[in-house]
């Protein structure tokens, strides 16, 4: 079977937009895969919420464990948020080694200060100096063992400083070091997106959507028109899933029933059983342990 790193490289080479919705566990990742998407994304925010903590407080071990579970559940490439490398250059080196061993196809590394502040989720992230960011990216590139493993260099200059000029300066520096793909966090307008594409015409770019840290809700067609090669939907899946949980059990609290009918649930359960491979398990049992 083709390695997922090679799959992702092949997708990038085709030049078509890679739409990667964000998963928060193996089941949500398999749902995304079953819908025909060519890749899955594991964002730090979704991982932190799923663990009932926050992204800035999530550890490397927790991130790797979450990635391992998702990778085991899908056959398409997983793109993972590797935070700020969970430390300095040597910590970044280990981060890459661990996530590559976990079976991740690509990671993105950001140039935020580590340890990250929870105020990051109020749009108040802080940048490290460019020289330190370059040291960490160099360590990441050195740590890679599979040449197809994709390293995405992300700058938070738009988020932390609001500077398009600094954003482009950092992207150019990361491209020069050898980053495979470049990414901008923070709200970018379509006009800013075009300016970034024009400033960096020869390297694949990531558009971050479906999150308060991403750009406006553009259609995938619009994102492709801007010249971007990957679009990631960060925490959207867990946001809408937990909203459904809250609504369902608030109804139970207030009315004594869930308000969810069998007519609605039975097809969902049937589909989920199919996704987790239940028919195969039934078939094995039918010809072995249940033969009598």
Beta-bridge partner residues of 154: 110, 183
pLDDT in tens, 123-136: 777 999 999 999 99
SS3 state at 205: strand
Q: Helix (H) and strand (E) counts for the chain?
A: 13, 8
Q: Determine the straight-line distance between the first and last CA of the chain, rounded to whole angstroms.
A: 37
51-65 mean pLDDT: 95
**Mean pLDDT of the region 186-212:** 89
- What share of the chain has pLDDT > 90, as a percent? 87
- Alpha-carbon distance 115 to 46, whole Å? 18
Query: Which residues, listed in sequence order, are joined to residue 108 by a DSSP beta bridge?
Result: 81, 152
Mean pLDDT (whole number) for 162-178 = 96
For residues 110 and 185, the answer to whether their CB atoms sit within 8 Å is yes
Residues 172-185: what's their mean pLDDT?
97
* Domain 4-242 indexed as CATH 1.10.275.30: no
């Amino acid at each position: 079977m083709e390695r997922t790193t090679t799959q992702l490289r092949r997708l990038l080479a085709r030049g078509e937009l890679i739409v990667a919705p964000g998963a928060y566990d193996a089941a949500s990742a398999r749902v995304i895969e079953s819908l025909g998407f060519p890749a899955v994304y594991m964002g730090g925010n979704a991982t932190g919420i799923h663990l009932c903590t926050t992204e800035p407080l999530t550890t490397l071990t927790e991130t790797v464990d979450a990635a391992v579970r998702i990778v085991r559940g899908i056959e398409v490439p997983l793109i993972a948020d590797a935070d700020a490398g969970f430390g300095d250059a040597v910590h970044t080196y280990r981060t890459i080694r661990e996530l590559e061993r976990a079976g991740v196809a690509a990671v993105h590394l950001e140039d935020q200060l580590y340890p990250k502040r929870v105020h990051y989720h109020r749009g108040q992230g802080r940048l490290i100096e460019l020289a330190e960011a370059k040291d960490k990216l160099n360590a990441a590139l050195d740590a890679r063992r599979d040449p197809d493993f994709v390293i995405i260099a992300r700058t938070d200059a738009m988020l932390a400083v609001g500077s398009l000029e600094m954003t482009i300066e950092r992207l150019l520096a990361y491209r020069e070091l050898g980053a495979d793909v470049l990414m901008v966090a923070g709200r970018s307008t379509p006009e800013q997106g075009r300016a970034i594409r024009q400033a960096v015409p020869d390297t694949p770019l990531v558009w971050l959507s479906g999150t308060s840290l991403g750009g406006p809700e553009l259609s995938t067609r619009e994102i492709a028109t801007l010249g971007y090669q990957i679009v990631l939907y960060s925490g959207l899946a867990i946001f809408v899933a937990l909203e459904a949980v809250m609504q369902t059990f608030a109804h139970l609290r207030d009315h004594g029933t869930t308000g969810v009918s069998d007519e609605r649930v039975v097809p969902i359960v049937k589909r989920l059983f199919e996704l987790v491979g239940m028919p195969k398990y039934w078939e094995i049992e039918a010809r072995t342990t249940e033969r009598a």
